[in-house]
Amino acid sequence: MRTVGRKTSTSSIKAFVITVAFIFLFTVALLLDIQYLYFMAVMAALIQPIAYGIVALAPTSYSGQRRHVSSAIEGKPLRVTLELSAQGRFPATTLEVDEVLPPSLPRTDEPLRRKPESWDGYTGTLTYTVEPLLRGVHTLGPTRVETTDPLGLFSFSADLAPTTEVVVHPSPLTVRVAQSGGEGRFGVREREGKAQRGDGLEFHGVREYHPGDSLRRVHWRTTARTGRLAVVEFEKAFEQDLVIALDLTKETHVGSGRESTLEYAVKIAATLADRTATRGGGVMLFTQTGKATLDARSSDPEAARYRLFDQLARAQATADVSLAATLSAQQFRPGTRLVVLTAAGDPALDAWLTRRLSLGDSLEVYYFDPLSFGGRATRLPGVPPTFLKRIEKKHSPWEEGGKHLEPILRESR
């Protein structure tokens, strides 16, 4: 976005010192009637207006354009480029740039306040790199440019606003977990070509040995019977499709920054979605503010994945409608694989989940204990303990690469 700013000026401590020097020289010259002191006082008096005039005739306005991608991924560097230009009679030779950034987008290279690259007095660029520490919608800017006279007596600054935004998507954890398997469904819908031959978990048959096959897969009984090497072949089942329900009611956000129930919930939701999609399953994300679908057979799965993670990036616990009401308005087939993430027990949600269990759904409820995040204790979700996973602040997804959370995610069915 291109913006224009006008200069405002301020004086430095040097200007104050020169003013005091002028008063002192003039006073001494007046008292002692020394001619050369009058001359020195006049010269001191002319320094400031001359310096001010030099900068006043320099560029009187500045314009800038900030360029960066509209979305980024949490933890991956983001490159930002500022294109600056100045308009005026003389070049601005001492230009410095200061960019306002939120704490969630810290610089990873040089200090932010510095001179633009290739600055010729009228045009130049400044590039810097930030590392997004937290998913969400973040603001960059405004930009302030500052120039001074050659003696550094006066500084002139201009703010280049408005700002720009970048949407930071959550990054999933890399967790090794057991295969969930299943028929690939948001209910009981089967998918064509649901198995692929190769290494996997399910026995497919025995075939003749081919160069490159592992000798550990040799089927010795068949080899002895036929007199020719034979190996075991497996088939790899697609991951069952997953429905993720993320509770965004106001009371479900406890804590601050990354150390909050909402951020833990979003991180786990992103991890489960990524794991399922990577294994060929589909994902449906439901919140009180909308839904997103990642269809495993979509013609553009990357675009579908982007929309789902974009919704996770923008998730805020501001809903007045309960998650139970949102889910009750949807139609799910029996046998749905369902994951619910919440920080509060809701009797209406308990009743809905109990009904879904009676229909044969596969259920996991992640409960983020608000007490461990500095909030008040709430009732636990009313589901059998075998379906409940209790997450506390000690299970940080960011500490040591999510090591403390990994065992819980590995238990996912």
**Distances 290 to 56, 183, 294 between C-alpha atoms, Å:** 54, 27, 14
Q: What are the per-10-residue average pLDDT scores of the chain (413 residues)?
A: 43 71 82 82 79 66 89 95 82 80 85 72 88 95 80 73 90 64 40 40 71 80 88 64 95 93 97 90 94 84 93 96 95 94 94 95 96 92 94 93 85 56
pLDDT of residue 55: 64
Please give the CATH topology (third level) of the domain spanning 242-410: Rossmann fold (3.40.50)
pLDDT of residue 411: 61
Given this chain, do its domains 61-169 and 242-410 carry the same CATH topology?
A: no
Judge whether 105 and 138 are in contact, CB under 8 Å: yes
Judge whether 283 and 269 are in contact, CB under 8 Å: no
Domain coordinates of the chain in residue numbers? 12-56, 61-169, 195-237, 242-410
pLDDT of residue 57: 64
pLDDT of residue 3: 43
pLDDT of residue 12: 57
Burial 226-241 (b: 16+ CB within 10 A, else e): eeeebbbbbbbbbbbb
pLDDT of residue 179: 41
Amino acid (one-letter) located at 328 = S
Its pTM stands at 0.75
Amino acid (one-letter) located at 121 = G
Local structure of residue 371 (DSSP, 8 states)? G
Superfamily of domain 61-169, CATH level 4: Immunoglobulins (2.60.40.10)
Nearest CA-CA partner of 63 in 145, 166, 147, 156:
145
Q: Strand 8-11 to strand 154-160: parallel, antiparallel, or no bridges (unpaired)?
A: antiparallel
The 3-state DSSP class for residue 121 equals coil
CA 96, CA 55: separation in Å to the nearest integer?
14
pLDDT of residue 412: 57
Judge whether 283 and 172 are in contact, CB under 8 Å: no
pLDDT of residue 7: 43
